[in-house]
Amino acid sequence: MGNSGGSLTTRSTSTGELHQLMRAAGFTDIDDTEALAEGWRVTNFGDAGRRSLANLVQGTGAPAVMVSFHDSDVGFIEALTPDGNSWEGLLNREMAESYEIPLEHFPVGPTVAGALAWSAAAGLTPDEEAIRQTLTGSALFAEELSSALLAALGLPGAA
């Protein structure tokens, strides 16, 4: 069985502070944190509440992107900036279809536009074609596409 938790990427001055803010925002089973560059960090978690992302962005004052995984097969993306710029998306569409997830709820064009706007609002330099490829591509594990998405969004230090 694969990963059914998620990953959160945001800016924070320290891992300890980020974990504390995540717990306060409603994230559970907070695990490994990887430091990227320029204060960006990727933290794994077990579960998040309905408003956890919004609560975290409000608490940190920093943009964030969260990917919730379904058995490592599918990734549900939510991203938000402090000024309310948000978007949602889906990773591993082919696998999502096998789970009967309605792909029409995650149209690629508007998702790419939202990702580009979020990235610009976060002060990053995105790669539009790479974003589109991660949103339409397939992989054995959705986590692979999630990592590619972070790099495509322009997160410094993302591989």
Question: Rounded to an integer, what distance in angstroms lies between the CA atom of residue 82 and that of residue 74?
Answer: 27
pLDDT tens per residue, range 6-61: 999 999 989 999 999 999 999 999 988 999 999 999 999 999 999 999 999 999 99
Q: What are phi and psi of 147, to 5 degrees?
A: -60, -40
What's residue 3's pLDDT? 56
Domain map of the chain by residue range?
6-152
Q: What is the mean pLDDT of residues 111-117?
A: 97
List the structure tokens of 154.
Answer: 């322009």
Please tell me the pTM assigned to this model: 0.94
Encode pLDDT of 58-83 as tens digits. 999 999 999 999 989 999 999 999 99
Per-residue confidence (pLDDT) for residue 2, from 0 to 100: 53
Q: What is the pLDDT of residue 1?
A: 42
Distance CA 102, CA 90 (A): 10
Give the residue among 44, 2, 12 at the shortest CA–CA distance from 27. Answer: 44
> In angstroms, rounded to a whole number, what is the distance separating the alpha carbons of residues 61 and 103?
32
